[in-house]
A and B are shown apart, each in its own frame.
Chain A
Amino acid sequence: MKDIHWVELIVFTVLFLGVAGMGFWAANWKKGDTMDHLDEWGLGGRKFGGWITWFLVGGDLYTAYTFVAVPALMFGAGALGMFALPYTVVLYPIVFLPVLRLWSVSRMHGYVTPADYVRGRYANRTLALLVAVTGIVATMPYIALQLVGLEAVLRTMGINYGGIAGHLPLFIAFLVLALYTFKSGLRAPALIAFVKDILIYLVIIVAVIYLPSKLGGWGSIFEAANTKFTTPNPATGKTSGGTLLTGANQLQYATLALGSALALFLYPHSVTGILASKSRNTIKKNMIALPAYSFLLGLLALLGFIAIKAGVKPLGNRATLLPDGMPKPDTNTIVPVLFDSQFPDWFAGIAYAAIGIGALVPAAIMSIAAANLWTRNIYKEYIRKDASPKAEAKQAKWASLVVKFGAVAFILFIDPQFSIDLQLIGGVMILQTLPAVAIALYTRWFHSWALVAGWVVGMGWGMLLLYGIGNPATGKTHFAGSALQLGKMSIFGWHPFGTSTTQIYVGMVALAANLLVAVVVTVVLRALKTPEGADETRGIDYHADDGDADLKAIAGH
């Protein structure tokens, strides 16, 4: 027990228990008439105003994993890690208009998930099922990654044991989370998000003002980073990364930013946050105010360089041993270790609580979103078609428990690296639902079966390309990243880009193939006069707003 940092642990535990209490109490907050309906349990009554939505969606999109992984990427690869900034800046202008249309049509028809919308728009059960399954599969590893963030913090506080004991605190934390989410639904993360975000803002602002002045200013921090990136790695004799982009990774930087931005609001948990808001105006204001988090994320990324200057060594994770029996260094611990070495214990404790609680908010929303998908688009669609709204809510509550423990199992029984790989894959996967969900908001030109065909090709090719990406530096031969060398791209043996070393984000390549196939198959199916299902949405539904006379009653039948 001598390794345990008691002051940090006590501050962390007190804050953690405080938010757990809030989570249980949240069921009574802005209470509706019933909790036995997905509109209430799964969407908080569809009535969150501007501030709540800002904290909720901010807490949802900018997760604990982001907070540890982005600085870790800066620490390891340099400038490439800054992609988080263009990603979250181009995000809002891109989604500003489509998200409003999605909110309106969902409010009008009582849709709870993106797959609900696809079913309504295309009356194609197969397409809706594909969208639902893609959403669930892409979300699961994302939840597991929140645990990676939480675990990085726990290990830095000294709770770093091997085997199951090393995972026990994580398990307890998730059990508490699972119970209050079960009880309070989306209201729990919405309320907790206030605490989480205030703590995060406090910690980051203090960190980026205090640390550079303590360590000799930004100039010397960048000098230290430059020295690190220009010094050859003794093992391979090569340099890697840099404080600027290279010729080869600029396209990767831009396409990764764009692809991630296009993908983010296709994730079911983002849609849940949006659908829970009260009106179009609430969403619009949030699209203007949410970039405050982007700015924060950019500052956070710079912590990766500050850690280089401060000489931080990533902590070994004693639950994953290398072949030589030594703990495997986990770069995700660099921010916690930086705080531990530079801040007084009590403040480090607050910072860890911010990250730890930062893991709980998105994990709760993601599990609710996945549970909503399961309930609405698989359970009710295929298993119990006559399920009442009450039965749906009950099913979703239990599904959220299953999803969370599935995520814990990921971490307990499988190398955390596997979740990171899966999350990478998840981004490419969710992007393949863009034609069926996002483009559908603007046009129904695509034939629904052509969208199915596009999905199959985009998904298949995307997975194949990811499988083929290796990284000699880490010895991984498959799924080692999302950067594809154009020269290695092969279409049935044809290399359209010769031997180019320029890198591009796999997700965008797969999406291009998806769209191409969808267009061609649509033309063919139209020529064959293949029947199309009915569209239950009407043009004007895409402009419905709070206060309209003909809206569907919230938590009605």
Chain B
Amino acid sequence: MTSDPHDPQSDQLEHPVDEGGQRGKGPNDIRASWWNALLLLPLLMLVTSIYNKQGPELFGLPFFYWFQFVFVFVGVGCVWIVYIKTKHISRRTGGPKK
């Protein structure tokens, strides 16, 4: 997803819509940002050895359970930050949005 991490800032305002013909940067026009790397953090949840244990318990819930509930918020937080931080980059024209 972050296969083209060079100059994240230069993508905006570059490709006017009515230029015609083959526009944009090649057939894929991948606009990467280092912020996107944050999306990898929630994948830690796939490493079960981190949390597959009984204690410490919370409200009677073993660690295995409440840790995964906490990770829902980690997931949301990461996507949220990426959303805020990359808002300006993914614009197509740079013009004001409706």
Contact = CB atoms under 8 A, between A and B. Distances in A.
Given A96-B39, A258-B46, A546-B98, A288 B80 contact: yes
A545 interface: yes
Contact of B91 (A253, A298, A545): A545
A295 B29 contact: no
B13 interface: no
Nearest to A91: B75
A238 B40 CA distance: 39
Interface in B58-87: 59-62, 64-65, 68-69, 71-72, 74-76, 78-80, 82-83
B23 interface: yes
A298 B72 CA distance: 10
A97 interface: yes
B28 interface: yes
Most chain A CB within a 10 A radius of its CB, from B23, B26, B40, B93: B93
Contacts of A545: 91-92, 97
Contacts of A33: none
A538 B24 contact: yes
7 tightest A-B CB contacts, nearest first: A539-B29, A218-B60, A219-B60, A540-B24, A539-B24, A93-B39, A254-B46
Contacts of A86: 45-46, 68, 71
Given A540-B15, A544-B92, A302 B65 contact: yes
B10 interface: no
Given A89-B71, A90-B42, A442-B28, A100 B90 contact: yes
A94 B29 contact: no
Contact of B18 (A97, A257, A549): A549
A245 interface: yes
A253 B91 CA distance: 38
A103 to B, nearest CB: 12
A539 B26 contact: yes
Interface of B: 1, 3, 15, 17-18, 22-31, 36, 39-43, 45-49, 52-54, 57, 59-62, 64-65, 68-69, 71-72, 74-76, 78-80, 82-83, 90-93, 97-98
A79 B3 contact: no
A291 to B, nearest CB: 5
A146 interface: no
A221 interface: yes
B27 A535 contact: yes
B75 A82 contact: no
A181 interface: no
A320 interface: no
A342 interface: no
Given A443-B28, A548-B93, A250 B49 contact: yes
Interface string A212-242: 0000011111100000000000000000000
B49 A543 contact: no
Contacts of B18: 549-550
Contacts of A94: 39, 43
Interface string A45-57: 0000000000000
Contacts of B62: 222, 243-244
A265 to B, nearest CB: 14
B90 A245 contact: no
A224 B29 CA distance: 55
A243 B45 CA distance: 18
A280 interface: yes
B40 A93 contact: yes
B92 A537 contact: no
Given A254-B46, A291-B72, A548-B93, A442 B65 contact: no
Given A85-B45, A85-B72, 10 more contacts: A79-B52, A82-B65, A86-B71, A243-B62, A442-B3, A444-B28, A539-B27, A546-B98, A547-B98, A550-B18
Contacts of B1: 97-98, 442
Nearest to B49: A250
A96 B84 CA distance: 13
A125 interface: no
A291 B76 contact: yes
A294 interface: yes
Contacts of A97: 1, 36, 39
A89 B49 contact: no
Given A90-B75, A549-B18, A245 B45 contact: no
A444 B80 CA distance: 29
Nearest to B77: A288
Contacts of B53: 244
Nearest to B83: A284
Contacts of A24: none
Interface string A516-555: 0000000000000000000101111011111111100000
A222 B17 contact: no
A90 B79 contact: no
Given A244-B64, A291-B72, A291-B75, A96 B82 contact: yes
B60 to A, nearest CB: 3
Contacts of A82: 64-65, 68
A507 to B, nearest CB: 14
Nearest to B74: A89
A319 interface: no
Interface in A460-498: none
A409 to B, nearest CB: 38
